[in-house]
A and B are shown apart, each in its own frame.
Chain A
């Protein structure tokens, strides 16, 4: 473990990927994640890794697919519209069971939108725009340190579950600086040793062609494809226990429970302190994994709670999952800003108070 250093989110996430053993990075410029390809282009080659500036996000994800299928540890990043372009590739990665860690430093949309931070990629991340039956676990850090830890761990999880792992953050966490403690370096795996760790990888089978490997997603026979999808989903179910993550603060005894993730959760935490000064007891339920979503955590909310607030930087995309978690036990209200606008803690506190009073609390 190293000492605390002041780092910009994008650079800290890049360093965390390298320390997690990522040797291959493929990227394309888009704000607000440009510090990632810049950092990787500078750091990876001098540390024995490889960087390619791809001609598009479409190429970047396909380079990742190639390097991942060949057994390398891969990291790709982009921001919202760029992630949209990558999603065909995500579907292929899932079907072919190729590990890759994906980071979205999200910005406001739709369309080219704005470069300001947003959480309006919630559906894009958790439901996905790629075709077919697939699932990508999504983690949403709310501090740079948590982002560092999640990117680092995702390198391992992605290999373990042979599936992409997606980290959803936003322009604020990407651009801001905070003190972080960086984890230790996981050594890179030498190309000639890859088969020992990943017997499925395409590495060239050597002298024994009974060990020939194929990485593929085409299964023309419907019976075969159905079986494959069922095996993928059995895997997702098994992974769920390890992947579902949540932080809760005082939800067992709250007047109001605010559900928020990422940047919004940070702002909500301070709003909760402001509400306490006005004798409103607010709790926080912060999903760290957006998929699998921590539905069960909602069961800990006590019956004295009057209202659940879905606080998001989108038009209420997460609220659909909040509804499933709440399961009709409480009324749910949306407290949101969108299009790149960020509320202050005071704004969240005031709007929460208003909702609470309207509901008769």
Chain B
């Protein structure tokens, strides 16, 4: 079983962190994984995307031409990566910022108002964790339990409040 996915959005939205957390969870599950970021001169506000592969077997190419899942946090990233989805693939869109519907009819689409839900929690920066939870529960590529562990590892050094906030965001949205 090999799952190929894109996480895409704007710099500052925590796109890379989402991808890295999925890769870390895959290691916890004894799976093979690669995380490949797009890298460029942009810092905050520029486009950001990463490619993550999770597989039972060793992974050769970290580059992919088609995907099983796309997580799009902004409209341009949805437009760019929707066409890469295989039929039957999963598209997760941040409907708080994307007010346009996806075109494809041969894929499963989940509209997650991630930015709004995060704002309701009092911190719009955790929109990526809302989305990560949605990703976990719609794709099952890595388990929610492992991702929760990764959240604890990632934010543990910054205090329990932050861990709890991120876990809360992670568990906010269900399909």
Instruction: Give chain A's interface residues, CB within 8 Å of chain B.
Output: 4-6, 31-32, 115, 171-172, 175-179, 266-267, 269-271, 273, 342-347
Closest 8 CB pairs of A and B: A344-B65, A269-B60, A177-B35, A270-B61, A176-B36, A267-B61, A270-B60, A346-B65
Instruction: Give chain B's interface residues, CB within 8 Å of chain A.
Output: 20, 23-24, 27, 32-37, 39-41, 60-66
Contact A267 B60 (CB under 8 A): yes
Contact B33 A269 (CB under 8 A): no
- Nearest chain B residue, comparing its CB with the CB of A34: B39
A200 to chain B, nearest CB (A): 41
Given contacts A6-B20, A6-B27, A115-B39, whether A178 and B34 have CB atoms under 8 Å apart is: yes
Contact A171 B24 (CB under 8 A): no
CB-CB under 8 A from A179, the residues of chain B are 27, 32-33
Contact A266 B65 (CB under 8 A): no
A112 to chain B, nearest CB (A): 12
A12 to chain B, nearest CB (A): 12
- Nearest chain A residue, comparing its CB with the CB of B51: A176
Contact B61 A177 (CB under 8 A): no
Given contacts A177-B20, A178-B33, whether A266 and B39 have CB atoms under 8 Å apart is: no
Q: Which of A6, A175, A266, A267 has the most CB of B within 10 A?
A: A6
A38 CA to B76 CA, complexed, in Å: 32
Given contact pairs A171-B39, A178-B34, enumerate 17 new A-B contacts (beta carbons under 8 Å).
A6-B20, A6-B24, A172-B62, A175-B39, A177-B36, A178-B35, A179-B32, A266-B60, A266-B61, A267-B63, A269-B61, A343-B63, A344-B64, A344-B65, A345-B60, A345-B65, A347-B65
B14 to chain A, nearest CB (A): 16
From B27, B34, B41, contact of A176 by CB (8 A): B34
CB-CB under 8 A from B37, the residues of chain A are 175-176
Contact A177 B34 (CB under 8 A): yes
From A4, A115, A171, A343, contact of B27 by CB (8 A): A4
CB-CB under 8 A from A175, the residues of chain B are 36-37, 39
B120 to chain A, nearest CB (A): 32
Contact B36 A172 (CB under 8 A): yes
A175 CA to B20 CA, complexed, in Å: 12
B129 to chain A, nearest CB (A): 18
CB-CB under 8 A from B24, the residues of chain A are 6
CB-CB under 8 A from B34, the residues of chain A are 176-178
Q: Jot down 24 A-B pairs with beta carbons below 8 A, ordered by A.
A: A6-B20, A6-B23, A6-B27, A6-B33, A115-B40, A115-B41, A172-B36, A172-B63, A175-B36, A175-B39, A177-B20, A177-B35, A178-B35, A178-B62, A179-B33, A266-B60, A266-B62, A267-B61, A267-B63, A270-B60, A344-B64, A344-B65, A345-B60, A347-B65
- Nearest chain A residue, comparing its CB with the CB of B62: A176
A173 to chain B, nearest CB (A): 9
A271 CA to B65 CA, complexed, in Å: 11
B29 to chain A, nearest CB (A): 11
A309 CA to B12 CA, complexed, in Å: 42
CB-CB under 8 A from B33, the residues of chain A are 6, 178-179
Given contacts A115-B40, A269-B60, whether A6 and B35 have CB atoms under 8 Å apart is: yes
Contact A345 B35 (CB under 8 A): no
From B36, B40, B41, B61, contact of A345 by CB (8 A): B61
- Nearest chain A residue, comparing its CB with the CB of B33: A179
A72 CA to B35 CA, complexed, in Å: 34
CB-CB under 8 A from B27, the residues of chain A are 4-6, 179
CB-CB under 8 A from A267, the residues of chain B are 60-61, 63
CB-CB under 8 A from B65, the residues of chain A are 344-347
A343 CA to B41 CA, complexed, in Å: 22
CB-CB under 8 A from A172, the residues of chain B are 36, 62-63
- Nearest chain A residue, comparing its CB with the CB of B52: A177
CB-CB under 8 A from A347, the residues of chain B are 65
Given contacts A176-B35, A178-B33, whether A344 and B20 have CB atoms under 8 Å apart is: no
A342 CA to B39 CA, complexed, in Å: 14
A193 to chain B, nearest CB (A): 37
Given contacts A6-B27, A177-B34, whether A345 and B63 have CB atoms under 8 Å apart is: yes
Contact A32 B39 (CB under 8 A): yes
A303 CA to B61 CA, complexed, in Å: 29
B86 to chain A, nearest CB (A): 12
A52 to chain B, nearest CB (A): 26
- Nearest chain B residue, comparing its CB with the CB of A267: B61
A232 to chain B, nearest CB (A): 38
